[in-house]
Every structure is written in structure tokens, then in C-alpha cells.
Amino acid sequence: MCGIVGYIGQREASPILLEGLKRLEYRGYDSAGVAVLADETLKLKKYKGRVTDLARTASSSDLTGSLGISHTRWATHGAVTEENAHPHVSHDGKISLVHNGVIENYLSVKKFLESNGVEFYSETDSEVFCNLIAYHYEKEDKNSPNRFLNSVRRSLRHLDGTYGIAAICTDCPDELFGARKGSPLIVGIGTDEYLLASDVSAIISRTSNVVYLNDGEIVSLKNGELNLLTNDEEVLTPEVQKIDWDIAESELGDYEHFMLKEIFEQSGALENAMRGRFSDDQSTAKFGGLNVSAQELRQVDRILLCACGTAWHACLVGEYLIERYARIPVEVEYASEFRYRNAPLDKNTLVLVISQSGETIDTLAALRESKRKGYKTLAINNSVGSTIARESDGGIYQHAGPEIGVASTKAFTSQLHILSMLALYLGRLRDMSFQEGVEYVEALKQAPELVTETVKLNDEILAISEKYKDMQDCLFLGRQDMFPIALEGALKLKEISYIHAEGYPAAEMKHGPIALINESCPAIVLATQPDIHAKLLSNIQEVKARGAPVIAIATKSNPLPKHLVDDQILIPDSHRAVLPVLASIPMQLLSYHIANLRGCDVDKPRNLAKSVTVE
């Protein structure tokens, strides 16, 4: 989950490294550090805190040199301290390393190194990694031109776990090494310079030409050369790809926070999700990258949806949509659980994983387990060139643009919209009529306009947020396909405002959660489905009878009686397949404004990071 940036070229490295770290800070912001190598001297600066604090304290005169590595940390092994911050330096002062991932056998390796006289200064597994390289470096033939490479390679063979690393050595002042297993690493190719990074957002201002490393690959960047090889010494030909988005997409612009910017970008994200994806007769969706024929899809008896966090909520909505419109049984699994279960799957099961980053380690592990067992495995993700995109049998790109805010907004609604399109596509392969398909397509195409209308409720929702910003507990209630949206609303509120929040099916409230209801625990009720309106009104009565405030999200054509609600947000009427998108937006805005009013760091909530690349 940590962010890595490395640089080798003709320019001063430290400004480039710091700029890259600022763009990667959503991956972790507990501490940050930079190491620069010049004249065989290693210069190091670390800081417990944000990248801006590091940049303010790091004097450019102290960090001169055109080769360097840097890191912004999301803590795993060891507390948030300056000692545990990266880069780490070996006990002999020769090697410096930054690391994203978890080394599972670091304690046994550390014990071995200590028995050989190595002294450690931090609690991290990464310092062990660095010193293991130094141990092998000392053992290598001092005249070997590949001394550093061989020491890295030997070290990797002794480590269990995941890693994305960048490493430099004082004896090799013109060489930068990278390696990956389970944690993303990308090479940026510039003019007379190379960059290493965990994410393209760190290097997009320098180059749009990149090489995505695969697991088990090592890269050597030296004297204007890019050498790619496996840990078994097989030389590879790098595949250079082009980044297809502009740096301006990752800039804050006139918005106070990225989260607010990305809420307002949702209309465009939906447009991009649909572009070129409807049939000529406008009766169904089409997807060019599924790599599964219509005949094969007609044989599917069951669909398994796998994801984590917000994407898991999207999967739950997808379950309702696909079962309703395509009549295919759907099961939703936490990706982190699926890998370790021996779940019986029918031979005609289709597995679909969802990950915004395409690097979520649990989702990637679920994909690999599914493929290992021989199931056709597709992916929905937002990152061209990501590991999940490359390893799946086929899939659908979201094209939502970069999402910087840790709390997902436009990526989530983009996933919902694509799942709606997928439900349409599968439905039309089965028993959905031509006319039903035409009406469905028309509804999907209207969604961006309805989203634009919905975000105009921003000022109204800010006023409601003022009333409830001091609450300590909150319940989110919904039925059927609004239940997952209730879960998502609760997650948004708790992760950025630190208010305890829970989402429940509205009818389940009386089976336990009603014990939490009191005058200081508001209930946010999603009341958008006319067919179960009467049932939901009964649930609201149960809340009101116990003195709790009710905030309702309903449609303009079917508002709730005023005596039953304390506040009401009315969203546009729409097709059932679009309502989950529209209902999500008021909850995103509520969570945003409440967190902001409470003085929380909206884009960088405590203990979280954007891309979860460790188990």
C-alpha cells in the first residue's frame, strides 16, 4: 500500500522524487523519506508525517544527486516512527532500499542476520530485506560486473511474502534496481532518464511511456539502458505501453478536496463507461474485451462476484441486477475469504472480480485461485496495465480516470453502471425482449444527466450535514438493491468522519439493531422503491417511535410523508437499474460534508490507503 518512486537520469533527483511522492500519498501517509546517491555518498532524509513536511525540511543542497529512491509509508511492521520510515540503509551503509509489501519470514531472516553480526535500528521487515541484500553483496565476487544484481536475486530467493522494491548501492552510482512480487511496480521511460513507481500517477508528469513489471521480474536501470529479467536469469524484452490519461485529471483544480472533485466528476465517468458500448440497434450493451463468446455466456449457470470494500458493495448491487434482468443465480464473495475457502463451484460458473486499482492483493489472489481451478475469470477495473487487467481472461475497463481520494466515489458508481450494462447484456442473451432492451439502454444513457441533477443537491445536503455533524452513531437502512447502498453509505461515513455507522436491510432492524436506536442515533433511510414503499414506511415508524431522527432519500415522484421524516433528500426518478447510482450520491455528499465540518482530513483518512496491496 506504500508508495515508491525512484529516479535515475541527468536531472536533480530529489525534486522529482518529492513530486512523485506527493502524487502517491493516497497510498500511505504515515511517514516519508528520500535517499539520494552522489559521488558514492548516500544522503538520507526521513520524516514522521506527510510528504509536505518532508519537502519543507529536506534542503535541496543536502540531497544533490541524479540517482535516488523515495517512499511514503502505510505502516505494517512497526509503529509510525522516523526509525521505521523508509528508505532503509544496510548496517554497512552501502545499500538503501524502499519496499511495499510484507515479508512473512522476516523474523527468521533477521535472527540469521543478527547471528552474523548485523545490528538493526527499526522494527520493520523492510530493513531485514535491505540487510539481506547487503549480506549477499558482501559474499559476491567483488570483481563481478553483476555483483549488485546477483545479491538482489539471491536475496529474493530467501524471502517469503510480497514486495515491490527500489534499491541503490554506493558502489554502483549509476544503477537503480527494482523488483516485484505481489506489489505493483512500473518503469517510466523518459528522455535520458528512467523512473520507478508504484503507480503511474507518480510519473505521468514526466512521461507517458511505461513498462509494467510482472511478478518475479527484476529491472536494472543503468547508463541509459533498461534491462528486464526474471529471477531465474531469463532475459526479457520490455513491452512499452502508453498511459492514456492526462496529468490534469489527477490535479485538484478549484476543488477543496479530491473527494468532492470526484463526486462532481461522476457524470463524466458514467459517460466514459458507456462510450461505444451499445449495439447499433440500441437494444443491448456490448463489450469488446470480454473474450467470452455469446454462446459460452449462454451456458453459464452461475456467476460468482468477488471484491473487497466498496467494490464488494458494487458486487452486491450487481447480484440484484443480474438476477433480476438476466435470471442467472449470483453469489457474492469477499475476495479475502474466497482464496482460503474450498468453495464448490459448478463447472459452468463464471467468476468476475472487481478492483478499481487492479492491484488489490486479496482480489488478485482470488482471481489467481479461480484461474488455477480452471474457471473463466473476468475483471472490471479502472487501471489499464494493472496486474488484474493483465492476468484476467478478459474484462471491462471503467475509464473513470484517476481517483485520488481514498474514499471511492466515481469509481464505485462507474462499477455500478457497468454492472447494470452487464445485466442488460446477459439479459438480452436470454429472455429480455428487444423493447425491454431499448428502454433499458435509454435509461442508462440518461444516467449522466440525472447524476448532474443530483449533485446540484450539494448545498441542501450541506445544510442537513450541519445538523448531524456531531452525531456519534448512525444507521443506514435500505431494502433489496438499496441494502448494499446502505452498506456503502455507512462505510463512507465511518471511514472519513470516524463516526460509528452500520448498514442493514431495513426489515432486519427489528431483529437486533433496533436496540441501538435512540434520539442521538439518526437513521438514514433509502426509500426509492415504490413496490415496497408501504413496508419501508412501517420500518420508519419503528424508528420514529423510539425518538430517532430520520433522514430519508426518496424520489421526487414518491416522497415520504413529512411527519415521518426530519429531513428528506429527493433524487430524480429513474429506471431501477440506475437508481443505485443516484441514491449513492447524497450519501457521498453527506459523508463528505460531515467529515469536513468535523475537521477530518477527507482525502487522507486515518489508518487507510487507497490501494490495498498487502494482506
Q: Which residues contact 49 (CB under 8 A, 6 or more apart)?
A: 31, 32
CA dist 152 and 137 (Å) reads: 8
What pLDDT digit, counting tens, does each position of 92-122 carry? 999 999 999 999 999 999 999 999 999 999 9
What pLDDT digit, counting tens, does each position of 270-310 carry? 999 999 999 999 999 999 999 999 999 999 999 999 999 99
Of the two residues 510 and 143, the one the predictor is more confident about is 143
Decide if pLDDT at 608 tops 90: no
Could you identify the residue written with the cell 527500489? 166
Q: What are the E-state strand segments in 185-321?
A: 186-189, 194-197, 209-212, 217-222, 225-230, 235-236, 241-242, 302-307
pLDDT at 60: 60
pLDDT at 491: 97
Average of pLDDT values for 448-474?
97
Confidence of residue 340 (pLDDT cuts 50, 70, 90): confident
pLDDT at 453: 98
Confidence of residue 61 (pLDDT cuts 50, 70, 90): low
Average of pLDDT values for 378-401?
93
pLDDT at 201: 87
Of the two residues 369 and 536, the one the predictor is more confident about is 369
Decide if pLDDT at 33 tops 70: yes
What pLDDT digit, counting tens, does each position of 558-570 carry? 999 988 999 999 9
Query: Is there a contact between 375 and 331 (Cβ–Cβ < 8 Å)?
Result: no
Average of pLDDT values for 190-205?
91
Q: How many CB atoms lie within 10 A of CB 7?
A: 31
Q: Is 547 left (phi over 0), alpha (psi -120 to 50) or beta?
A: left
What residues does each domain of the chain span? 3-243, 251-455, 456-600
CA dist 2 and 28 (Å) reads: 5
CA dist 583 and 334 (Å) reads: 23
CA dist 528 and 554 (Å) reads: 5
Architecture field, domain 251-455? 3-Layer(aba) Sandwich (3.40)
Residues of the chain above pLDDT 70, percent: 98
Q: Which fold has domain 3-243?
A: Glutamine Phosphoribosylpyrophosphate, subunit 1, domain 1 (3.60.20)
pLDDT at 379: 97
Over the chain, what is the mean pLDDT? 92
Query: Is there a contact between 4 and 166 (Cβ–Cβ < 8 Å)?
Result: yes
Q: How many CB atoms lie within 10 A of CB 316?
A: 21
CA dist 378 and 184 (Å) reads: 20
Q: How many CB atoms lie within 10 A of CB 459?
A: 9
The C-alpha cell at 539 is 420500518
Q: What amino acid is encoded at 243 in this protein?
A: I
Average of pLDDT values for 421-438?
97
Query: Is there a contact between 357 and 374 (Cβ–Cβ < 8 Å)?
Result: no
Q: Which fold has domain 456-600?
A: Rossmann fold (3.40.50)
CA dist 35 and 18 (Å) reads: 11
CA dist 431 and 131 (Å) reads: 62
Q: What amino acid is encoded at 516 in this protein?
A: L
Could you identify the residue written with the cell 420508519? 540
pLDDT at 57: 80
Decide if pLDDT at 223 tops 80: no
Residues of the chain above pLDDT 90, percent: 77
Q: How many CB atoms lie within 10 A of CB 537?
A: 14
The C-alpha cell at 148 is 549488485
Confidence of residue 498 (pLDDT cuts 50, 70, 90): very high
The C-alpha cell at 283 is 437494444
Which CA distances in Å does 276 have to 25, 262, 284, 445?
34, 23, 12, 12
Confidence of residue 426 (pLDDT cuts 50, 70, 90): very high
Q: What amino acid is encoded at 597 in this protein?
A: L
CA dist 319 and 325 (Å) reads: 10
Q: Is 239 left (phi over 0), alpha (psi -120 to 50) or beta?
A: beta
CA dist 600 and 142 (Å) reads: 53
CA dist 369 and 366 (Å) reads: 5
CA dist 340 and 541 (Å) reads: 42
Average of pLDDT values for 469-491?
95
Same fold, 251-455 and 456-600: yes
Which CA distances in Å does 136 have to 5, 90, 120, 554, 614?
24, 12, 17, 65, 26
Query: Is there a contact between 4 and 164 (Cβ–Cβ < 8 Å)?
Result: yes
The C-alpha cell at 207 is 512521461
Distance between terminal CA atoms of the chain?
Answer: 10
Decide if pLDDT at 470 tops 70: yes
Task: Write out the catalytic residue numbers.
Answer: 2, 610
Decide if pLDDT at 376 tops 70: yes
Q: How many CB atoms lie within 10 A of CB 115?
A: 8
CA dist 248 and 384 (Å) reads: 18
